[in-house]
Amino acid sequence: MANGPRILLVEDDKIFRDVLTNRFTASGAIVVSVERGEEGIAALEHEQIFDVILLDVSLPDIDGFDILSRIRTVPAFSDIPVIIVSNFVKQSDLEWGEKKGVVQFIQKSSVMPDEIVSAAFRACGKEPQSTLPANPTIS
């Protein structure tokens, strides 16, 4: 799908990042995945505009909420939907994130990867491409 959404995935867990990248690609998305927050900022500054950003909170270099604050100060990035994907989110984080325009908070351990893919597609108004054949048959 050439018109799939452009996704920026900022996630330090390599296995989780790889699983999500594979699922997004299979669904027709174009994914730039990075391990560190500074790499995410650099991708925003040097890549084409993204349709949605998936952001972990607990990263090795900078806090995901610090990244969100920086993103929201740049007019070109201020309207990009952001989904926080983390296991460590407190009620005060939810309230702060909503003020910063976070469209959804997803707890990693409570959802399947395909649910994260669907949420990202919904956030940018697109539908994932099915990875199943149009007319499956049983042999």
Q: Which residues in the chain show pLDDT less than 70?
A: 1-2, 130-139
Question: CA-CA distance, 54 to 82, in Å (whole number)?
Answer: 6
Pair 37, 61: CB distance under 8 Å: yes
Instruction: Please spell the DSSP secondary structure of 54-109, one letter per residue.
Output: EE-S--SSS-HHHHHHHHHTSTTTTTS-EEEEES---HHHHHHHHHTTEEEEEEGG
> So what's the pLDDT on residue 26?
94
> So what's the pLDDT on residue 37?
93
Question: In one letter, which amino acid is 83?
Answer: I
* Domain chopping of the chain, boundaries: 6-123
Question: CA-CA distance, 43 to 56, in Å (whole number)?
Answer: 15
The pTM score is 0.86
Q: Which fold has domain 6-123?
A: Rossmann fold (3.40.50)
